[in-house]
C-alpha cells in the first residue's frame, strides 16, 4: 500500500483521482477549499485544509510515496487581470511542492499542466513537440511549472511525469464559474429549455476527454517507469466540432431546440486536437465515447 498525496483533491479532477486511488492506497488530500464546487472525501481519506504555498507541505510530502499535483488557479480571465495572483498559486505553489519533494525518496511526482501551454495551434494534431506560446498568464504559469518539474528531474533526479490535459469534462464541473467548459454551458441551457449558444459558425473543433480517461492515464503515469521525465498530452485524439457537441447534448435530452449563434469571440483558437501517440506507448486507450460521457454528465451533473 502506498501513500498518495493529492493536491486539490476536493476539485473536479482531484476528487475523481481520490475516489480511484483510495481503494488500494492511503490517500491524503490537501485542499484550500477555495473552489465553490467541492466534493466530500471518501471514508478513510485524510483531508488537510491548507495551501500548496503553506508550511504543511513539507510534512505532507514527507509522508507520501506519490504526489499528484492538481491544485491550481485555473481561471484564464482572472490570470489576465491578476497575473501575480496566478503566478503565486501556479508557480510558487508548485515550486514549494517540488522543493519539499526533493528532500524525499518519492516514487512519482505527477504534475498537471494544461494544453493552454501551446497557444495558437500551427500543426494539427498537436504533439508534445509543438511550439509553446501561451496566450495568457495562466498558460505561462502552467508551462513554468512544467519546466520547474522537469528541471527537478534532471538536476535532482525527482521522478516526475507531466500531463497536458485538453478539454476535460465531468458531472462535477462547477456551473457557477463563468469560465466553465462549453459542455457545462450547453447542458445547463438545454436543461432549462434554452438553446445551446454557439459563438461563431460552430465548426471550430476541440478534443473533449472524460475525467474517467484522465484518471486512467494518471494511473499509468504513476505506475510506468517509461513515464518518468516526460510530458504527455491527455486527450482522445478525436476532433469534435462545437456544432456536433451541441447536437449530441440535444440528443441526450431528446430535445429539438434550435441552435443559437452569436458573433465569434476574439482570440478563440479555431482548431485543437491532441496527438496522444506518447500516451499510447504507456498503454493508454481512451474508453469513454462523447455520447456516453455526455449521457453520464446529464444524469449526474450537480446542477
Catalytic residues: 138
Which residues neighbour 152 within 8 Å (Cβ) at sequence distance 6 or greater? 98, 101, 102, 109, 158, 160
Is the separation of the CB atoms in 161 and 228 below 8 Å?
A: yes
Is the separation of the CB atoms in 279 and 213 below 8 Å?
A: no
Which residues neighbour 76 within 8 Å (Cβ) at sequence distance 6 or greater? 116, 136, 138, 139, 179
Report the C-alpha gap between 143 and 87 in whole angstroms.
Answer: 11
Report the C-alpha gap between 78 and 188 in whole angstroms.
Answer: 23
Report the C-alpha gap between 57 and 69 in whole angstroms.
Answer: 12
Amino acid at each position: 500500500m502506498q501513500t498518495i498525496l493529492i493536491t486539490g483533491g476536493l476539485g473536479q479532477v482531484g476528487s475523481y483521482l481520490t475516489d480511484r486511488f483510495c481503494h488500494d492506497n492511503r490517500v491524503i488530500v490537501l485542499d484550500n477549499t477555495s473552489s465553490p464546487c467541492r466534493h466530500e472525501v471518501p471514508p478513510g481519506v485524510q483531508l488537510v485544509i491548507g495551501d500548496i504555498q503553506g508550511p504543511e507541505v513539507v510534512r505532507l510530502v514527507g509522508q507520501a510515496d506519490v504526489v499528484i499535483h492538481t491544485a491550481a488557479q485555473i481561471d484564464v480571465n482572472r490570470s489576465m487581470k491578476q497575473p501575480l495572483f496566478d503566478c503565486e498559486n501556479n508557480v510558487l505553489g508548485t515550486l514549494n511542492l517540488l522543493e519539499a519533494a526533493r528532500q524525499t525518496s518519492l516514487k512519482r511526482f505527477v504534475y498537471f499542466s494544461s494544453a493552454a501551454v501551446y497557444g495558437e495551434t500551427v500543426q494539427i494534431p498537436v504533439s508534445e513537440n509543438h511550439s509553446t506560446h501561451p496566450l495568457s498568464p495562466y498558460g505561462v504559469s502552467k508551462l513554468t511549472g512544467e519546466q520547474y518539474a522537469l528541471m527537478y528531474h534532471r538536476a535532482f533526479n525527482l521522478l516526475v511525469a507531466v500531463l497536458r490535459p485538453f478539454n476535460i469534462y465531468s458531472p462535477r464541473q462547477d456551473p457557477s464559474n463563468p469560465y466553465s467548459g462549453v459542455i457545462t454551458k450547453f447542458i445547463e441551457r438545454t436543461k432549462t429549455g434554452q438553446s445551446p449558444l454557439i459563438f461563431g459558425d460552430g465548426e471550430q473543433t476541440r478534443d473533449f476527454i472524460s475525467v474517467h480517461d484522465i484518471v486512467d492515464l494518471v494511473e499509468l503515469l504513476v505506475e510506468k517507469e517509461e513515464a518518468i521525465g516526460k510530458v504527455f498530452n491527455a486527450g482522445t485524439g478525436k476532433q469534435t466540432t462545437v456544432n456536433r457537441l451541441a447536437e449530441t447534448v440535444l440528443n441526450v435530452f431528446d430535445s429539438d431546440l434550435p441552435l443559437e449563434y452569436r458573433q465569434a469571440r476574439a482570440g478563440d483558437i479555431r482548431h485543437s486536437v491532441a496527438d496522444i501517440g506518447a500516451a499510447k506507448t504507456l498503454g493508454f486507450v481512451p474508453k469513454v465515447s462523447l455520447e456516453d460521457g455526455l449521457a453520464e454528465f446529464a444524469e449526474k451533473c450537480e446542477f
